[in-house]
Amino acid sequence: MTGANADEMLGFEHRWIPGRGETARTLLLLHGTGGDENDLVPLGELLDPGAAVLSPRGKVLERGMPRFFRRLSEGVFDLEDLVARTHELADFVAAAARRHGFDPGRVVAAGFSNGANIAAAMLLLRPGTLRGAILLSPMVPIVPDPLPRLPGTPVFIGAGRMDAMVPADGTRALAELLGRCGAEVTTWWHEGGHSLTPDEVRAAAEWLRGIPG
């Protein structure tokens, strides 16, 4: 089966990079608006050089830029589409585990901006899909009713105090929401805006080393 046909069967164009060793975790890399399946591969190497990498491309186009779900305006999400796309992505992870042979119980998401938001939505709408998550520049994607139970699920949130797209209160609201669900949330701040910083990546990598694979 060709790579293109395999992608079609799984539903997402994506990159798959096997891990080094049988016990490696799988990093689910989720890009921001305008990115693709290649964008965060270097980030994955920095976070955990031994991990397998599953990096899908978002299927929604906004002015030609890939995203993982639609939005109505800046910071205003199409919640019906968000819910549908979140379940679609969770199903993709399960199908990719069967196709590529990785343990679906050892998947940690690492997403930036739009990718972080759909990773947070996966935690909230499909608990059990992710072993943990690194959410970089996220906001609250949705508040499900009832809230899921995420006892002990490790979550790292990295954010900029000067982020004009995601005010600090939005970051704190997400941390509080996940904490109410029982997740173990670590919040790390940098002094910049809506971007990744080297110190933030190093902090996330150190945090990840403390999470059992």
Is 195 catalytic? The answer is: no
Is 113 catalytic? The answer is: yes
| Sequence-ordered alpha helix ranges (H) in 41-189 | 41-47, 79-100, 114-125, 168-180
Query: Residue 160: pLDDT above 60?
Result: yes
Query: Residue 6: pLDDT above 60?
Result: no
Q: What are phi and psi of 98, to 5 degrees?
A: -70, -40
* Catalytic residue chosen out of the listed positions 14, 31, 48, 113: 113
State the Cα–Cα distance between residues 103 and 19, nearest whole angstrom: 11
DSSP assignment string, 192-205: SSSS--HHHHHHHH
Poorest-pLDDT segment among 20-29, 57-66, 72-81, 129-138 = 20-29
| Sequence-ordered alpha helix ranges (H) in 20-65 | 41-47
pLDDT, mean of residues 116-137: 98
Which pLDDT score, from 0 to 100, does residue 85 have? Answer: 97
Percent of all residues in the chain with a pLDDT value above 70, rounded to a whole number: 94
Which pLDDT score, from 0 to 100, does residue 212 have? Answer: 80
Among 37, 42, 47, which Cα is nearest to 16's? 37
Query: Residue 4: pLDDT above 90?
Result: no
Q: How is residue 61 written in tokens?
A: 């186009």
pTM here?
A: 0.94
Q: How is residue 143 written in tokens?
A: 């508040």
Report the alpha-carbon angle 139-142-146, nearest 5.
135
Which is more confident, 184 or 24? 184
* Catalytic residue chosen out of the listed positions 78, 91, 194, 195: 194
Which pLDDT score, from 0 to 100, does residue 183 have? Answer: 98
Query: Residue 79: pLDDT above 80?
Result: yes
* Model confidence band, residue 197 (pLDDT cutoffs 50, 70, 90): very high
DSSP assignment string, 34-75: T--TTTTHHHHHHH-TTSEEEEEPP-EEETTEEESS-EEETT
Please list the residues that pair with 55 across neighbouring strands. 15
Mean pLDDT for the chain? Answer: 93
- Contact status, residue 111 vs residue 86, Cβ threshold 8 Å: no
- Torsion angle (degrees, nearest 10) of CA 193, 211, 183, 18: 80
Report the half-sphere exposure of 156 (CA within 13 A, side-chain side).
Answer: 24
* Catalytic residue chosen out of the listed positions 7, 39, 48, 163: 163
The amino acid at residue 173 is A
Which pLDDT score, from 0 to 100, does residue 3 have? Answer: 44
* Model confidence band, residue 62 (pLDDT cutoffs 50, 70, 90): very high
Structural domains of the chain, ranges and CATH numbers in brackets:
3-209 (3.40.50.1820)
- Torsion angle (degrees, nearest 10) of CA 57, 60, 65, 66: -10
* Model confidence band, residue 8 (pLDDT cutoffs 50, 70, 90): low
Query: Residue 23: pLDDT above 90?
Result: no
